[in-house]
Amino acid sequence: MTTAAIIVAAGRGQRAGGDIPKQWQMLAGRPVADHALTAFAGMQRVLVIHPEDRARADGLGVELVMGGATRTASVRAALEALAGRGIAHVLIHDAARPLVPAAVIDRVLAALAQYPGAAPALPVSDALWTGEGGLVTGTRDRDGLYRAQTPQGFHFDAILAAYRAFAGEAADDVAVARAFGLNVAIVAGDEANLKLTYPGDFARAVAILKGHPMDVRIGNGFDVHAFCPGDHVWLCGVRVPHSKGLFGHSDADVAMHALTDAIYGALAEGDIGQHFPPSDPEWKGVASRIFLADAAGRIAARGLRLANADVTLICERPRIGPHATAMREVLAAILAVDPDRISVKATTSERLGFTGREEGIAAMATATLVSA
């Protein structure tokens, strides 16, 4: 079943302070909205934005929908944009909740196997008062009361019909669903899934992020390509003059292939052949930077960043040293990191084996990914 995530980021968030809306303010070096999007990596994602925020959102690499004057109108616009695409389930999430744990998302999705709607919430544990003029005027029973969170999930066709039938403005998506007669299951929320509303909430979010253990992933890649007739080879995206070429379905950039595989390995997402099958004519003769750029995009989508990459070329010739700096710069540009995080070096096999006989070039690479 196809699941889509709608991230609502069209509000102005004035109570949070700052010169720009809260969803575009920085949290641990990234926009708040980017954190929220990362939580739903792997799903079809739609980001609902205010038209004035188009420039801020263009670089996030997701589908954009222009929001309406109210949250209800914004969600309705996103649902209509997804209509007819075969979506089975949809999760609707506020961008102002950037730290939603994966376990909360999983609980919502699991509940949709039994109910047309599901949403996370926390039971109210504090005593409840009424007050007037700064004085307590009474108490309220807290039994059966919950603090609602997002994402709120639904069977897509059901919530689309509910929004089409709803007039006015609702507090959230559950209110629209219930007005249409849909049952909505309550699943356990999480205190970490806080909503950024006031300036002090940003400090709380930073503290939560610091409390998360660092995710460190290391992957290795290895590739080999044989020589063939030609006058140059492509290595790390650099055209290197040589008396031979390298044989391959793409441009046969053996170094980029090894590094791409190292990243896929660190992400536990298979290898280059699974994502770009050599049997597919679409990839015949293409530049290998396409493969590496895909791997780089997956790093960001998983909420990670590249700490460093190390590439070793194994060959007698051509000489790599004169081109190593250019190679590092090309790889760094594709991976969106500083060149000092990329190492490119070479060694020979002391005239042993196929590389020693100058029958081809081998490459191995290691990539380290850490929490963003």
- Per-residue pLDDT of the chain (372 residues), as tens digits, is 699 999 999 987 666 677 788 999 998 888 999 999 999 988 999 999 999 999 999 888 899 999 999 999 999 999 999 999 999 999 999 999 999 999 999 999 999 999 999 999 999 999 999 999 999 999 999 999 999 999 999 999 999 999 999 998 999 999 999 999 999 999 999 999 999 988 888 888 888 887 766 678 999 999 999 999 999 999 999 999 999 999 998 999 999 999 999 999 999 999 999 999 888 888 888 999 999 999 998 887 777 889 999 999 999 999 999 999 999 999 999 998 889 899 999 999 999 999 999 999 999 999 999 876
Domain count, the chain: 2
Mean pLDDT of the chain: 92
Q: Are residues 149 and 239 in the same domain?
A: no
Q: Are residues 193 and 335 in the same domain?
A: no
> CA 82 to CA 276: how far, in whole Å?
27
Q: Are residues 272 and 241 in the same domain?
A: yes
> CA 92 to CA 158: how far, in whole Å?
13
CATH of the domain at 230: 3.30.1330.50
Q: Are residues 227 and 285 in the same domain?
A: yes
Q: Are residues 291 and 264 in the same domain?
A: yes
Residue 173 backbone dihedrals phi, psi, to 5 degrees: -75, -30
Q: Classify residue 285 by its DSSP letter.
A: T
For the stretch 143-180, pLDDT in tens is 999 999 999 999 999 999 999 999 989 999 999 999 99
CATH of the domain at 145: 3.90.550.10
Question: For residue 277, what are the domain limits?
Answer: 216-371
List the one residue out of 248, 270, 249 whose CA is nearest residue 260: 270
Question: Which of these three, 156, 177, 211, is where a domain ends?
Answer: 211
Question: Which of these three, 184, 211, 238, is where a domain ends?
Answer: 211
Beta strands in the chain (DSSP E): 3-9, 26-27, 30-31, 44-49, 63-66, 89-94, 117-123, 128-132, 135-140, 146-148, 152-155, 184-188, 216-229, 232-235, 238-241, 244-246, 304-314, 342-347, 360-371
> CA 41 to CA 43: how far, in whole Å?
6
Reported pTM: 0.62
Q: Are residues 242 and 176 in the same domain?
A: no
For the stretch 13-40, pLDDT in tens is 666 677 788 999 998 888 999 999 999 9
Q: Are residues 292 and 178 in the same domain?
A: no
Q: Are residues 295 and 204 in the same domain?
A: no
- Tokens found for residue 108: 């919502």
Question: Which of these three, 177, 211, 245, is where a domain ends?
Answer: 211
Q: Are residues 107 and 130 in the same domain?
A: yes
